[in-house]
Amino acid sequence: MIENRLRVAVIIGSIRKDRFGPIPAGWIAAEASKRSELDVDVIDLASAFLPEVLGDGGAAPQAVQDLAPYLASADGFVMVTPEYNHSVPASLKNAIDWYVDEWKAKPVAFVSYGGIAGGLRAVQQLRQILPSLHATTIRDTVSFHDCWDLFDVEGQPVDVEGCNAAAKVMLDQLIWWAQALRDARAARPYDG
Ligand SMILES: Cc1cc2nc3c(=O)[nH]c(=O)nc-3n(C[C@H](O)[C@H](O)[C@H](O)COP(=O)(O)O)c2cc1C
C-alpha cells in the first residue's frame, strides 16, 4: 500500500463539438479511480480555453495559469487522444506546448481511439514529442479501433473485461513510474 496517494490527471485531448473523447476518458478515469494508490483529476481541454497563439516568454495568459496547478500537482498523466490526419489533435499539442516544468520527469500513459488505427499513430507521435519535455511514456496503451461501436450507452466498453484488463496493465505501469519518479524528484530535484 502506498502511503501518499499518487495524483493522476486524465487529459481529454480533443475539444471539438460533439467529440467522442469524453467517453473513453470517463471510462479510464473511473478505472483509475478504483485504484487505491490514485487520486484522479479529469482535465477537459475544451473547458481550459488555452490560447492558440503561444506566448513570448512574458506572463502566461490567465487560462494557462489557471490550468497550471492541476498539471503541476499531477504525478502522472493519461492522455486520451484521437488521431486527426494520422497525427495528434492540435488542441492536445497546444496544451503540451504551453507548459514545460509541469511535464518534467513525469510519466504519461495513453488511451487512444479512432478509425482502423485506433489513434495509435497519434500515440507514436506523442512518444516523440514528450521526451523533449523530459517526460517519459508508458509502454502499454489502450486503443479503441473503429471506436464508435465499442462503448455502450452508459459509456462502458462493450468488451468491458478485456478493456479493464488492458487498463490494469497500463495503470500498473503508470503507478510504478509515477511512484518511482516522485521519489526521485523528492530525493534530487530534476534539473534537466
Ligand atoms: C480533422 C479530423 C481528422 C481525422 N483523421 C483521422 C485519421 O487520420 N485517422 C483516423 O482513424 N480517424 C480520423 N478521424 C476520425 C476521428 O478518429 C474520429 O472522428 C474521432 O471521433 C475524433 O475524436 P473526437 O470525436 O474526440 O474529436 C479524423 C477526424 C477529424 C475531425
The pLDDT assigned to 2 comes to: 53
- Is ligand 1 within 6 A of the CB of residue 83? yes
The pLDDT assigned to 56 comes to: 83
Strand partners, 70: none
The domain of 83 spans: 6-187
Closest CA to 45 of 89, 108, 85: 89
Runs of H (alpha helix) within 44-117: 45-48, 62-72, 90-98
The answer as to whether 98 is a domain residue is: yes
The answer as to whether 32 is a domain residue is: yes
- Going from the Cα of 33 to the center of ligand 1, the distance in angstroms, rounded, reads 27
Predicted confidence (pLDDT) per residue in 175-189, tens digit: 999 999 999 999 999
**How far is Cα 94 from Cα 97, in angstroms, rounded to an integer?**
5
Closest CA to 145 of 112, 121, 183: 112
The residue whose CA has the least distance to atom 15 of ligand 1 is 114
- Going from the Cα of 149 to the center of ligand 1, the distance in angstroms, rounded, reads 15
| CATH code of residue 15 | 3.40.50.360
Q: Which atom of ligand 1 is least distant from the CA of 82?
A: 23
- Going from the Cα of 92 to the center of ligand 1, the distance in angstroms, rounded, reads 13
Per the CB < 8 A criterion, the answer to whether 45 and 80 are in contact is: no
The answer as to whether 92 is a domain residue is: yes
The residue whose CA has the least distance to atom 24 of ligand 1 is 19
The answer as to whether 163 is a domain residue is: yes
The answer as to whether 192 is a domain residue is: no
The answer as to whether 1 is a domain residue is: no
Predicted confidence (pLDDT) per residue in 116-150, tens digit: 999 999 999 999 999 999 999 999 999 999 999 99
Per the CB < 8 A criterion, the answer to whether 45 and 95 are in contact is: yes
- Going from the Cα of 176 to the center of ligand 1, the distance in angstroms, rounded, reads 31
- Is ligand 1 within 6 A of the CB of residue 20? yes
The residue whose CA has the least distance to atom 27 of ligand 1 is 19
**Residues of the chain scoring pLDDT < 70:** 1-3
- Is ligand 1 within 6 A of the CB of residue 99? no
- Considering its fold, how many domains does the chain have in total? 1
The pLDDT assigned to 3 comes to: 64
